[in-house]
Amino acid sequence: MRSHVTAQTEGPGDVSPWRFSVAPMMDWTDRHCRVFHRILSARARLYTEMVTTGAVLHGPRERLLGFSPEEQPVALQLGGSDPQELAHAARIAEAFGYAEVNLNVGCPSDRVQDGRFGACLMREPALVGDGVAAMKAAVGIPVTVKCRIGVDDQDPEAALDALTAAVRAAGVDALVVHARKAWLQGLSPKENRDIPPLDYARVHRLKRAHPDLPVAINGGLKTLEEARDQLAHLDGVMLGRAAYAEPALLLGVDPLLFGAPAPVADPFAAVEAYRPYMAARLAEGVRLHAMTRHMLGLFNGRPGARGFRRHLSTAGTRAGAGLDTLREAVAMVSREVPGTVAA
């Protein structure tokens, strides 16, 4: 389903559109995940999985780029390095209704190195700048970059400064920095998410050096309290695995970070709000597990959470599983708020 919704900005006054976002994550942040996350937070900025420019230009666009209007504001993350291809892909993204195009300069996998995109582009700041300039000339929506602080034996001071200078000169609208190096030799993509040490202070120094450039931070943040602390230094925070593994965390985003009520009262209400979307997709032939896999951690910490996860991971994966299976799983979970004591 193509969306032609006008790109949105969020927040009153001087609140940054990048104040809080959920990171783009391969195999995780698909359209079903994003709809569910939007139910939990009306204000979070959401990102697609990374899509290569080649896939956008030559692949099945509706399947790769289609999204639901209720996901907005949602950004498309692109992987690529050829400026003209990036510009063409950005035009396509804008026509689909995306609120932003984000260039991946942080993914460390072998596949992206072979394709000359992702974290290896930290070594080619001028090329990244050319790509940003080409996209800025092609579209009216924001163009942003997500990067690391450096790769391999690069000096993070010089590497991040060089990249920032190049994309600033090209007119970039915001920079999201994963506050770790990427080691392209010797560490797997999974290890690259944990082993290189975090350096939040490096990102804080970058912001102080560029006070008028919106800078958001990513990497290692696990709670909204940690996110709020980062907002004392930066324009935004981006949570990845914590938001995905503990989706109920997102219920606190709007109250804690935006001073607005949560869209739904609790995780049970979130499931109810997700049901109409799931029913519509089931009628189109989407399997239940494709949607419920994104909510497995929703009830973590409550009695019955393990049974909920087990039921959705077994019965929910069977052909023909429907909303009755979800209802059975939810019925296993206690509605008592964790930490309370019954009278």
Residue 193's alpha-carbon distances to 40, 101, 130, 186, 202, in angstroms, are 25, 23, 28, 13, 17
- 3-class SS at 181? strand
Count the alpha carbons within 13 Å of 255 in the hemisphere toward its beta carbon: 12
Whole-number Å distance between alpha carbons of 54 and 145: 19
Question: Between helices 200-209 and 156-169, what is the axis angle to 10°?
Answer: 40
Q: Report whether 19 contacts 238 (CB < 8 A).
A: no
Angle at 109 between CA 104 and CA 110, to 5 degrees: 125
Which residue's structure tokens are 């391999």? Answer: 152
Residue 204: left if φ>0, alpha if ψ -120 to 50, beta else—which one? Answer: alpha
The verdict on whether 107 is a catalytic residue reads: yes
Catalytic residue among 33, 107, 120, 147: 107
Which residues make Cβ contacts (< 8 Å) with residue 31, sequence separation at least 6? 48, 66, 67, 68, 71
CA distance linking residue 281 with residue 151, whole number of Å: 41
Structure tokens at 182: 């990427």
Tell me the two tokens of residue 183.
Answer: 């080691």
Residues annotated as part of the active site: 107
